[in-house]
Amino acid sequence: MWGVVGVAVVVALTFIGSDRLVWFDAALVGYLFGVIFAVFGVAYRYAVWLRRPPTAMLNRRGWEAFRQRKARNIAALPSLVATHLLTQGFIRRRSRARWLAHQLVFWGCILAGLVTIPLTLGLLHFESVGQQADRYQVYVSRVGTLRFDAESILGWLIFHALDIAAVLVLAGVFIFLRRRLRDPGAMAVERSGDFLALAGLFAVSVSGLFLTVSSMWLEGRFYSALNTIHALTVILGLMYLPFGKLFHIFQRPGNLGVAYNKRANAEGEPAVCRRCGEPFASAQQIADLKEVLPQVGFDYSIDGGGNYQDTCPRCRRALVTLAQSARVGGFG
Amino acid sequence: MSRGRFGIDDSPVFVIDQSRCIGCEACVQACAECGTHRGQSLIHLERVDRATSTQTAPMVCMHCEDPTCAQVCPADAIKQTEEGIVQSALKPRCIGCSNCVLACPFGVPKYVADFDQMMKCDMCTDRTSEGLTPMCASVCPSEALWYGTIKEFNDTRSGSLFRDFMFGRQEVRTKVYTVIDDALGGPLDVLAGVTRTWLDDPFGLDHVQATS
């Protein structure tokens, strides 16, 4: 259902935003179908993901925590978005090279998305200013905004925004690829999907750059074939988005819910270990786990009352050790 | 050319025998050298009760056949390989909620606040996939952490390999084996109420004193 709603929103946005398709570029219709498929797939998978019992619980608790102290939480949102989603310090602390690569790919894709998606949906177009062939104006739907000189630095940056995005993405892809091919730790746990995502980003970026090469230095030779290849890579990439590794783009904002939830839990009652009597987590989170575990097929309740999940992790390790040592008679 | 000690048909197993642990912490140091999580030691080693016992409690991931950690992960970030290795959280997916840390019956996963993600023992996948012994087992002087074939174990060690645990009503079977003497005594009941083990009086002196 959410997939259909997503598609309806995109179609409505395209129709209204392009001024009843007046500014819709028919040459980009393939890309539009790619976007529609991606929106459907992402919304569908997101809805399925939210149905998993632990995800549903976290989703509920995250929003509850957000609503509990709405003013404070809204005020905290910009800094949370900046640290948890945009600057990605948690990756930098793991490895500077990986952080740099991720930032390059991240900002490259954001830039490319900001240019191409509005163009594809007909929300954005360019018009000449009067009879001046070298001056352009950016139109958002039918509202005229920025005017610029095609020969200016700003003009160059605008017309080459996708080339810049491609160079950023490629730089990131090569850093990632170097690690994937050389780091023994990464090589031991990597999966085919890790390479598929990099191959997709590489194909889209390189085929896009070749369009610029063709138009600037080859007098447009091979442009039509290159255009088809580029469109194919982008559309396949959009179709891969909901099902492959890149779905984490849409999962990661869940981390904000976790941050709000953690803050609310820290202010609530602590859970106390049934063995050592020390606080070890939030009582709410332990109660939630005890509710979720039976839903996913586990029963940690104890005959005679109580639940093993009320034991702190340290005591769990001690209990396993004591039980094992008791079943060994002596020096083994 | 394989650098490994084990061939593809050897099917080596990981064995943890906590009763043998002498608390030297060599495993703690070695764990941080593992290629998949360099710099982070993910093994646990604690004293059970320093005031009354010499017992130490080492704990690696037991690699449950049906891992609780993976089932309670809201991000579906914990995956199991075909060989039954429960891997550390997928970095792009883990959202750092700590559900796995709190739900694991063995108390294994660690939440690393700096990285905002869970990390856990993956049985040194970089080494075991090449037929090498995991870092911790390769340095353990008392063989509390041991890696080898079942035949090797039977030839050189006493006790039986065992991998069924009870946590309240929940039975858990693991890929990693532990060692017990009475294999017919049913699953290892973690809540059996044990407070004292043979290690507290290894030579039976308390018994001698009581009878004299």
Domains of chain B: 13-60+121-211 (3.30.70)
State mean pLDDT over A27-39: 92
Query: Confidence band (pLDDT; 50, 70, 90) for B198?
Result: low
Instruction: Give yes or no: residues A247 and A319 share one domain.
Output: no
Q: Is residue A196 part of a domain?
A: yes
pLDDT at B2: 47
Mutation for testing the A interface, residue in B80, B116, B126, B189 having most A CBs under 10 Å: B116
Please give the mean pLDDT across all residues of chain B: 89
**Other C-beta atoms lying within 10 Å of the C-beta of residue A297:** 10
Residue at which a domain ends, from A257, A279, A312: A257
**A131 and A37 in one domain?**
yes
Is A332 contained in some domain?
no
Domain presence at residue A216: yes
State which of A257, A284, A306 marks the end of a domain.
A257
Question: Which residues in B lie closer than 8 A to residue A292 (C-beta atoms)?
Answer: 72
The arithmetic mean of pLDDT across residues A76-105, rounded, is: 95
Average of per-residue pLDDT across B2-9: 68
Q: Report CA-CA distances (Å) from A170 to A165, A182, A238, B92.
A: 9, 18, 18, 19
The answer as to whether A79 is a domain residue is yes
- What mean pLDDT value characterizes chain A? 92
Q: Are residues A89 and A23 in the same domain?
A: yes
Residue A263 lies in a domain: no
Provide mean pLDDT across the span A64-79. Answer: 93
**Angle CA(A85)–CA(A91)–CA(A96) in degrees, nearest 5?**
130
The per-residue pLDDT for range B50-96, each reduced to its tens digit, is: 877 788 999 999 999 999 999 999 999 999 999 999 999 999 999 99
The pLDDT of residue B195:
61
Q: Are residues A230 and A303 both part of a single domain?
A: no
| Boundaries of domain holding A131 | 2-257
B38 contacts in chain A (CB < 8 Å) = 185
Residue A143 pLDDT > 70: yes
Q: What is the pLDDT of residues A207-264, one digit of tens each?
A: 999 999 999 999 889 999 999 999 999 999 999 999 989 999 999 999 999 999 999 9
Same structural domain, A317 and A206 = no
Residue A165 to residue A182: CA distance in whole angstroms: 26
Cβ within 8 Å, pair B71-A54: yes
pLDDT at A332 over 50: no
Q: Residues A198, A312: one domain?
A: no
Same domain, A151 and A224: yes
pLDDT of B1 strictly over 50: no
Measured CA to CA, the distance from residue B79 to residue B90 in angstroms comes to: 8
User: In this structure, is residue A24 part of a structural domain?
Assistant: yes
Tell which B residues from 58 to 77 touch A, by Cβ distance under 8 Å.
58-59, 66, 68, 71-76
Q: Is residue A27 part of a domain?
A: yes
**Does the pLDDT value for residue B182 go beyond 90?**
no
Q: Which residues pair with A127 in a beta bridge?
A: A137
Q: Are residues A126 and A203 in the same domain?
A: yes
Give the per-residue pLDDT at A175. Answer: 97
pLDDT over 50 (residue A134): yes
Chain centre to alpha carbon of residue A319:
40
Length of chain B: 212
* Chain B residues in contact with A186 (beta carbon < 8 A): 36
* Residue A190 reports pLDDT greater than 70: yes
Give the whole-angstrom CA distance, residue A257 versus residue B72. 16
Q: Are A188 and B125 a contacting pair at CB < 8 A?
A: yes
Q: What is the pLDDT of residue A251?
A: 93
Do A29 and A174 have their domain in common?
yes
Closest CA–CA distance from residue A105 to any residue of chain B (Å): 14
pLDDT band at A142 (very low <50, low <70, confident <90, very high): confident
Q: Can you read off the two tokens belonging to residue B26?
A: 């060599």
Residues of B in contact with A261 (CB under 8 A): 97
CATH of the domain at A57: 1.20.950
> Does the CB of B208 have a partner CB in chain A at under 8 Å?
no
The residue among A257, A287, A318 that closes a domain is A257
pLDDT at A24: 86
* Most confidently modeled range among A108-112, B18-22, B48-52: A108-112
Q: What is the pLDDT of residue A328?
A: 85
Q: Which residues of B touch A48 (CB under 8 A)?
A: none
| Residue among A289, A297, A332 whose CB faces B103 most closely | A289
Cα A175 to chain centroid, rounded:
19
Contacts of B108 in chain A (CB under 8 A): 313
Tell me the residues of chain B between 126 and 155 that have a Cβ less than 8 Å away from chain A: 126-127, 129
Inter-chain touch B194–A325, beta carbons under 8 Å = yes
Q: Quick one: average pLDDT of A38-52?
A: 95
Q: Residues A42, A110: one domain?
A: yes
* Statement: residue A184 has pLDDT above 90: no
Q: Decide: A47 and A3 in contact? Cβ < 8 Å.
A: yes
The tally of domains found in chain A comes to 2
A141 part of a folded domain:
yes
Q: Do A244 and A301 have their domain in common?
A: no
ipTM of the complex model: 0.91
Tokens, residue A267: 């202010």
Q: Which amino acid is at A99?
A: W
Using the beta-carbon criterion (under 8 Å), do A329 and B101 form an inter-chain contact? no
| Least confident segment among A64-73, A146-155, B115-124, B192-201 | B192-201
| Same domain flag for A114 and A27 | yes
- Check CB contact of B22 with chain A, cutoff 8 Å: no
Region B94-109: mean pLDDT is 96
